[in-house]
Amino acid sequence: MEKPALFGQTLSEIQSIVAELGLKPYVAKQLTEWLYQKHARSFAEMTNLSLSVRQILDEKFRLGKSEPSRVQASSDGTKKYLFPAGSRGFIEAAYIPDEDRATLCVSSQVGCKMGCLFCMTGKQGFQAQLSAGEILNQISSLPERENLTNIVYMGMGEPLDNLLQVMKSLEILSANWGYGMSPRRITVSTIGLVPAMKHFLEHSEAHLAVSMHSPFHDERRKLMPIENVYPIADVVEKIRAYNLGKQRRISFEYIMFKGVNDSPRHVKEIARLLNGMRVRINLIRFHPIPDTPLESSDDDTIRQFREGLLKKGFRTTLRASRGQDIFAACGLLSTKELVKLQAPDF
């Protein structure tokens, strides 16, 4: 069996490991420094640990970082990295540089269980949960790591369906003993798994992006089966009931589908649903995926939709389409060709 990975463990977990191995307590702090601040890729690099300590660690643990196995570059500077996820397949991360910022879109699962109609990852089914270390490895092993200004959990998978590991990765990213990154530079997206979302809101300071895609129950459940159990109205109500403070950002993602969710009636209903909330709405052009009956709204309709929302007082952006030519854009990540698909249960 593979040795457990040290990378991706929190300070308190590493303290327990150090105590169990009978090492001096200060080794825990040295280890988190090497793992998360000095970006060591092997135990041999940890030169302020004695040789015997390094040997003990090496016997029991692997460090747990792995290089991307492939990179594809888009003409617009976006890059898509393929990372191995242990023996359970591959995941993709999209690096999106901009004028004054560079964002990494990370994956949280191999595949996804949510089955949204418009999503390539959804078509792959579910293969595995990522550990906190596998989530963080997409950041740590990124050649452009030092340029990163923002992390968004919007890659493959529904982050809040892997709540424990995602929360651990957020702790490591934002802790002083970890990457020391401001949670205001991190956004977690969700389709609205209500119980897990409540936990996230209460235990993390990171921003939240909710995939809305339609304000109407009957329409949304055709696009996103989750609407049957956690309707968008409930999701909004739960967020409304939560005191978010001034710094924390809640945004709603809205992919524009021609003739489906792009009418003035939708603008009106979104405004009613989000009435009085200080939120941002991100409109996104749809990138058609194979075998889909959906098409993207045209530019004029998107512009009018945006103006309608702006008039209602909502900060509304149209997210630029990045990395479309290498399938790195929103909803296009998939490793279906590379993973061993689950034997179906039917």
Partner 1 sequence: MDIGLSGFIKKLPLVSLPVIENLQISPGAFVLTVERISDFLPGQVVALSTDDKIAPRLYSICSAPDNEYLQVLFSLKPDGELTPLLARLKPGDTLRVSAPFGAFLGDDRPAWWIAAGTGVAPYRAMMLAGLAHNKKLIHGGRFANQFYFQDEFLDCLGESYIRCCSQETGDGLFSGRLTQWLREQVLPSEISFFLCGSVEMVVETRDILISKGVDIDNIMSEVYF
Summarize as ranges the residues that interact with partner 1 (CB under 8 A): 10, 112-115, 117, 122-123, 125-126, 158, 161, 163-164, 167-168, 171, 195-196, 198-199, 202-204, 217, 221-223, 225-229, 231, 291-294, 341-342, 344-346
Nearer to ligand SF4, 23 or 119 (CB): 119
Nearer to ligand FAD, 100 or 345 (CB): 345
Nearer to partner 1, 5 or 232 (CB): 232
Q: Give the side-chain half-sphere CA count within 13 A for 94.
A: 26
Q: Exposed, middle or buried: residue 340 (CB in 10 Å: 0-12, 13-18, 19+)?
A: exposed
Task: Tell me how many degrees the CA angle 184-38-178 measures, rounded to the nearest 5.
Answer: 35
Nearest to 65 by CA among 133, 142, 143: 133
Q: What are phi and psi of 106, to 5 degrees?
A: -105, 155
Question: Which residues are CB-contacts of 340 (< 8 A; sequence separation ≥ 6)?
Answer: 89, 127
Nearer to ligand FAD, 155 or 157 (CB): 157
Pick from partner 1, ligand FAD, ligand SF4, none: which does 198 bind, CB < 5 to 8 A by kind?
partner 1
CB of 186 to partner 1, least distance (A): 14
Nearer to ligand SF4, 156 or 210 (CB): 156
Pairing of strands 102-105, 109-111: unpaired
Pick from ligand FAD, partner 1, ligand SF4, none: which does 346 bind, CB < 5 to 8 A by kind?
partner 1
Pick from ligand SF4, partner 1, ligand FAD, none: which does 128 bind, CB < 5 to 8 A by kind?
ligand FAD
Pick from ligand FAD, ligand SF4, partner 1, none: which does 341 bind, CB < 5 to 8 A by kind?
partner 1
Give the residue at shortest CB distance from ligand FAD.
129
Nearer to ligand SF4, 142 or 191 (CB): 191
Nearest to 213 by CA among 276, 122, 150: 122
CB of 130 to ligand SF4, least distance (A): 13
Tell me which of 157, 192, 215, 323 binds ligand SF4, using CB under 6 A.
157
**What are the distances in angstroms from CA 127 to CA 112, 116, 122, 178, 252?**
8, 16, 11, 29, 27
Subset of residues 116 to 135 that bind ligand SF4, contact rule: CB under 6 A: 116, 119, 121-122
Which residues are designated catalytic? 92, 330
Subset of residues 75 to 114 that bind ligand SF4, contact rule: CB under 6 A: 112, 114
Q: Which residues pair with 208 in a beta bridge?
A: 188, 250
Pick from partner 1, ligand FAD, ligand SF4, none: which does 291 bind, CB < 5 to 8 A by kind?
partner 1
Pairing of strands 79-84, 70-73: antiparallel
Q: Exposed, middle or buried: residue 345 (CB in 10 Å: 0-12, 13-18, 19+)?
A: exposed
Pattern of binders to ligand SF4 over 181-220, x per CB under 6 A? Answer: ----------x-----------------------------
Taking the C-alpha atoms of residue 131 and residue 148, their distance in angstroms, rounded to an integer, is: 21
The SS3 call for residue 261 is coil
Letter for the amino acid at 137? N
The contact set with ligand FAD (CB under 6 A) reads 128-129, 229
